[in-house]
A and B are shown apart, each in its own frame.
Chain A
Amino acid sequence: EAGVVQSPRYKIIEKKQPVAFWCNPISGHNTLYWYRQNLGQGPELLIRYENEEAVDDSQLPKDRFSAERLKGVDSTLKIQPAELGDSAVYLCASSFRAGGGAFFGQGTRLTVV
């Protein structure tokens, strides 16, 4: 069975440019998370979806970040415009239900220069 798939694996952009990340969760998993992880830190939640509904986006910097999960399957996370401080690994995870153990994709390593 395929795991969580994310793309791209790596992205280097100049500041003020837009960037988008894509995630395909494990089939049948209703809960989808986007996390951001900085070096030496644990993942920090950005947004959680239950099917197509964003049920918790309190940690998402809404002035520049946006996310969507159309049809309750794939999800995209967008940053526009990117700032130097956005450099991090962006991880997507999914679980069968909220509160259950989540499975992560390989992440997108973003470098903003």
Chain B
Amino acid sequence: RKEVEQDPGPFNVPEGATVAFNCTYSNSASQSFFWYRQDCRKEPKLLMSVYSSGNEDGRFTAQLNRASQYISLLIRDSKLSDSATYLCVVNIQTGANNLFFGTGTRLTVIP
């Protein structure tokens, strides 16, 4: 079983729409959580960390549900420039203490 599971999409949404991605993780010892953004043929870039209380950065809101072991990313008022692949990342501190990546969810914002 993969450490991190994501719906690969693609999600095609019109400009201005609100879109949400979910991600589940399998290891309850997971401690740190992140969302990364990856543009086509580019490296992943850290979008935001995910905190237990939830956190917001402009149009982006991240939520963590430890009981259900899932993480979400909400994008409001989608822009064309939001088109990218969004990667869910989990750090498992017990043992490996590594960052595990999901396969990514592809978003296309349509004019």
Contacts and interface: CB of A to CB of B under 8 A. Distances in A.
Nearest to A48: B98
Given A41-B103, A42-B87, A42-B103, A101 B46 contact: yes
Given A42-B102, A45-B98, A45-B100, A103 B91 contact: no
21 contacts: A33-B98, A33-B99, A40-B8, A41-B103, A42-B87, A43-B44, A43-B87, A43-B101, A44-B101, A45-B98, A45-B99, A55-B97, A56-B96, A56-B97, A98-B91, A99-B32, A101-B34, A103-B46, A105-B43, A106-B42, A106-B43
B28 interface: no
Contacts, number: 55
Nearest to A59: B98
Interface of A: 33, 35, 40-45, 48, 55-56, 58, 91, 93, 98-107
Given A98-B91, A100-B91, A106-B43, 13 more contacts: A33-B98, A41-B104, A42-B4, A42-B101, A42-B102, A42-B103, A42-B104, A45-B99, A45-B100, A91-B43, A93-B99, A99-B91, A102-B99
A99 B97 contact: yes
Contacts of A100: 32, 91
Contact of B49 (A35, A48, A101): A101
A99 B31 contact: yes
B93 interface: yes
Interface of B: 4, 8, 31-32, 34, 42-46, 49, 87, 91, 93, 96-104
